[in-house]
Amino acid sequence: MEGARDRTRVDAPLKVAGLAPYADEHVQEGALHLAPVLATVALGRITRIDDEAARAVPGVRLVLTHENAPRIAPTLPTLTVLRRSRVRYRGEIVAAVVADSAEQARYAASLLRVDYAPEQAATRPDPEGEDVRELRRVMAIYPGRYRDGDVDGALAGATHRVEGTYTTPTNHHHPIEPHAVTALWHHGAGRLSGPRTTRLTLWDTNQGVIAPQGVIAGAFGLLPTQVEVVSPYIGGSFGTKGVPHPHTMATVMAAKLLPGHPVKVALTRPQMSAGTGYRPPTTQRVALAADADGRLTAIDHQVYAPVSRVIPWMDPTAGPTLSMYASSTRRTAYRTQDLDIAPGTFMRAPGEYTGMFALETAMDELAHATGVDPVELRLRNEPGADPESGRPWSSRHVTTCLTEGARIFGFEQQRRRRREGEWWIGQGVAAASFPQMSMGPSLARVTFADERYVVSMQASDIGTGARTVLAQIAAQALGVPEDAVDARIGTTDAPAAIIAGGSTGTFGWGSAVVEAAHAFRTEHGEHPEEGATARARTRMPQGVRGVTRMAFGAHFAEVAVSEVSGKVRVRRMYGHFDGGRIMNPRTARSQFIGGMTMGISGALFEESYRDPRFGHVVNGDLAGYHVAAHADVVDLEVGWVGEPDPWMGATGAKGIGEVGIVGVPAAIGNAVFDATGVRLRELPFTPGRVLEAWEAAEGRGA
């Protein structure tokens, strides 16, 4: 399969015109509005709910509490809301008000009086606390402890050794479209002709309709086919919409008590920060040892992160350390602490984003300790095979990303401390990687109708351009013009498919589309009849488990640092990537640029502050949580290798949605060091932290 041509996104005209309906914009006659009520204690028990004033508000249809909520079957711990009087974290949904308008619902919710019997809650993380425990597994996939060789001995006898503590904060996703859902239970003749007829419809914003369909069906005793989920357009996610959250469950409960009435909710930013997941904070200890030539002899990566008692979500932060560089010894370990806080979840490049910040900053420190150019240091430590498993790479072009990227960017790191007025100028580099995991097979269907080809599957376009690219893949496989193919996605009446997550969409869904197109041609030939159809599933090459599949990249940054304010400005940035075959240059560039923009935002601004006394996020809105704006992102450009990976299925494409963010904070931090001599090991690089570190360095005579 050849790479597809550069094509404008097919959904762009509708979105620009405001005609693409998002979850809260599907017009349903007689829709009611739900306003959640959140717990104001971190741990305890509800002793009394006074709803008299709330019920007296005109337009109120229902006050939903644990006393009248429908019973549900056991489900995900995060979704067991309104089942009992127990409060597990501050911000948990303890009640909800449904009214004719959103304003009435919110006002009535503000009048609801909830009394608690608070209990002593553990909300303050402490990496040295007595209750810190070691993990055996992370995400049930990765080893909690890994050791290869005598790490301590290699560190003790090293010619060069660097070590440091690196910290990353809590981050929240904040997609442009907030979490929203509308639920409608169907009753009466015409919709209940049999047990498999749809009984519940959800208009939802998610990363894949299969997740809410399965979870909600199981909780309410329905068959999956009795739950219809409609999600044609999604306004971003970054991981927060990968699984259903408590507000979805509360809305379905309320709609069940109000049959025939659609019930809808669109969360506010503070409500999203309270209960729809986040990137957990980390404290990481990294030690590197190298010989006189800068070749690694030991890598030690220790990770601490607090987790919620509800679901102990922890990112595989040390994962990339096991496979990025060659070393004769390696060790990783995870420690955690159970707290009475809301659960975290996956956020763009979960683990790689935080882990590679620590590893790539440490590599820069090693480069300066050894006197080896930072690009050359990485080249000297290129592994011939996966260091963790010993398996060969499906493809690995890190060397090209580093050398070609350095050439295009004009990378020159010589610590010249160039100055322009109050601004000190520097450059930095960091490598990036992201595993190409399998999340299971997907199904695709190709149908010929009205002289057009329609490819259908439960894929989700969360802003990546999937709708456009899937149609392109189908057109090429069918041998027809691209404008003769439509993609129908985001609905449960299409063939089942994996969610949009883990950078698996293009190669996972795309393989199924190619197989379905080939099946269609085999069954119906070049001149199909009206209604002709064929379907097939994802097919990966035999022996794929015998290779390690990863996407790679290299980030180059130039920054200016003010000696007056401590402000860091990213003046320009370039990324060069190994993403396999590029299916659409336009959408690929958008993904890479988007990842780099998000990385700049995380490096310079994003930090959620959790009050250690009460366990809640105090800056849970876009006024207190700054996301990079146009003025913060000036000159970004990307390039890629473009060589197909034969082990990635029919498309030869690797996932690119996450690798673009991975090395950005380290590249920026390394550039700050190049400019100022100040080493920053804590994200984000705020002016206060920069000035504090600068003053400390000057005090030591740096």
Nearest partner of 463 among 161, 629, 240, 672, judged by Cα:
240
Q: What is the pLDDT of residue 569?
A: 97
Read off the pLDDT of residues 160-217 as tens digits, 9 standing for 90 and up. Answer: 999 999 999 999 999 999 999 999 999 753 444 455 577 999 999 999 999 999 999 9
Quick one: pLDDT at residue 414? 59
- CA–CA dist 510, 508 (Å, integer): 5
pLDDT band at 304 (very low <50, low <70, confident <90, very high): very high
Tell me which residues are annotated as active site.
658
Domains of the chain: 23-120+176-236+241-275 (3.90.1170.50), 133-172+279-437+547-699 (3.30.365.10), 439-539 (3.30.365.10)
As a whole number of angstroms, the distance between CA 126 and CA 289 comes to: 28
Better pLDDT: 99 or 613: 99
**pLDDT for res 697:** 83
Cis peptide upstream of residue 541 (ω within 30 degrees of 0): no
Signed CA dihedral, 124, 125, 128, 130: sign only:
positive
Query: For residue 129, how far is the Cα from the chain centroid?
Result: 29
What are 648-690's pLDDT values in tens digits? 999 999 999 999 999 999 999 999 999 999 999 999 999 999 9
Q: Which residues contact 364 (CB under 8 A, 6 or more apart)?
A: 374, 428, 429, 430, 666, 669, 670, 673
**Structure token pair of residue 76:** 């995900």
pLDDT band at 605; cut points 50, 70, 90: very high
Token pair 């893949």 in the structure block, residue: 473
What's residue 449's pLDDT? 96
Q: Looking at residues 102-118, what average pLDDT do you find?
A: 98
* pTM, to two decimals: 0.96
| pLDDT tens sequence across 80-96 | 999 999 999 999 999 99
For residue 3, pLDDT over 90 is answered with no
pLDDT digits (tens, 9 = 90+) for 468-488: 999 999 999 999 999 999 999
Question: Peptide bond before 21: cis, by omega within 30 degrees of 0?
Answer: no
CA distances from 543 to 167, 305, 552, 643, 644 (A): 39, 36, 22, 20, 17
